[in-house]
A and B are shown apart, each in its own frame.
Chain A
Amino acid sequence: MARVLSALIAGLVFGAGIAISGMINPAKVLNFFDFAGSWDPSLAFVMGGALIVTAAGYRFVLQQPKPLFDKTFHLPTKRDLDLPLLAGAAVFGTGWGIAGFCPGGSIPALGLGEISAVIFVAAMLAGIVLARLMRKAFAPQTSAGK
C-alpha cells in the first residue's frame, strides 16, 4: 500500500508541477519554440528548475544502497547513440511541434477535462502500439524490450 501511495504522491507532485509551470498549456509550449514569432522563454525556467532539483536529488538518492520499495535502481544501461534513439527523438519533436503537447504535458491536461488532451492522448497511445507492431514486423527474431 505504501508502495502505491508513494507513486501516487510522486504523480500528484509531477502533475502539480506541470500545471503550475505552464507545460500543461500547448499555446505556451508552442510559443517557447517560436523564436521567430511570439517567443515565450518561460519553459527554459521549467527545464532549469527541474534539472537543478533532479540533479541534486539524484546525487543524494543514487548514493543509497537501494530505493525504499525495490531491490535495485532501474537505470538505463545503454550507452551508444543508435539510429532508433536519434530518429525516434527527431520524430517525437516533429509531433510535439505539430500538437503542442508532449506526453508529460498531455496526461495532467486530462485532469482539466480538456477534449484536446483526450484526443491527443488517445492518438499518442495508438502511436505507441503502432510503433511496437512496427518493431515486431521489422525484427521478428529479437525482443522489442528496452
Chain B
Amino acid sequence: MTVFTPITSLLGGALIGLAAVILMAMHGRIAGISGILSGLLPPTAADWAWRAAFIIGAIAAPALIVAVAGNTVIAFDSPVPAPWLVVGGVIVGVGIQFGSGCTSGHGVCGMARLSVRSIAATLTFMATTTITVFVIRHGLGGF
C-alpha cells in the first residue's frame, strides 16, 4: 500500500510543469527526459552541455532534499526484483527511442501543447502500462 497524497502530488506536479516552462523559456526545448538523455549518448549531440546540466540538476535535487530534511521525507520502495528491472529498463529504452518520448515529453509537454501525436502516445502507453501491471499482479501473482 502507498498513501494517497493529493496535495504533495499536485504541488510536485506543478514543479514538474514549472521546470518544463523554464526550459522552454530559456532554451526553447521540450523537457522530455528521453530526448534529453538520448542526446547525451554517443553520438553525443552538439548541445550536450545544457542536457548534462539538466540531468545533473534532476539527480541533485532529491539528494539535496534528503540532506536538508532527512531521509524519511521522500518515500521510496522498489518492489521489483533486479532481473525484472533489467528487462523493464531495456524495454523502456527501446520504446522511448522508437516512440520519441516518455511520460515527461509526451505526457506533460506534448499534451500541454495539445499535440495529437503526444496525446495518442500517452493514451497508448498508459493503456499498456495498466495491462502489464494487471497481468503481473493479478495474472501471474507477481510484484
Residues of chain A at the chain B interface (Cβ within 8 Å): 3-28, 30-31, 33-38, 40-43, 45-55, 57-58, 61-62, 64, 66-70, 72-76, 78-81, 84-105, 107-114, 116-117, 119-132, 134-135, 146
Interface residues on B, range: 35 or more
Residues of chain B at the chain A interface (Cβ within 8 Å): 1-6, 8-31, 33-35, 37-38, 41, 49-51, 53-66, 74-80, 82, 84-100, 102-104, 106-113, 115-117, 120-122, 124-134, 136-138, 143
Report whether B89 and A101 are in contact in the complex, using a CB–CB cutoff of 8 Å.
yes
Given contacts A34-B137, A48-B13, contact A79 B93 (CB under 8 A): no
Report whether A91 and B89 are in contact in the complex, using a CB–CB cutoff of 8 Å.
no
CB distance from B68 to the nearest CB of A (A): 11
**When chains A and B are docked, how far (Å) is the Cα of A86 from the Cα of B94?**
13
Report whether B104 and A93 are in contact in the complex, using a CB–CB cutoff of 8 Å.
no
Report whether A52 and B17 are in contact in the complex, using a CB–CB cutoff of 8 Å.
yes
Set of chain A residues within 8 Å of B91, measured between Cβ atoms: 91-92, 94-95, 98, 127
Q: Which of B95, B113, B131 contacts A92 (CB 8 A)?
A: B95
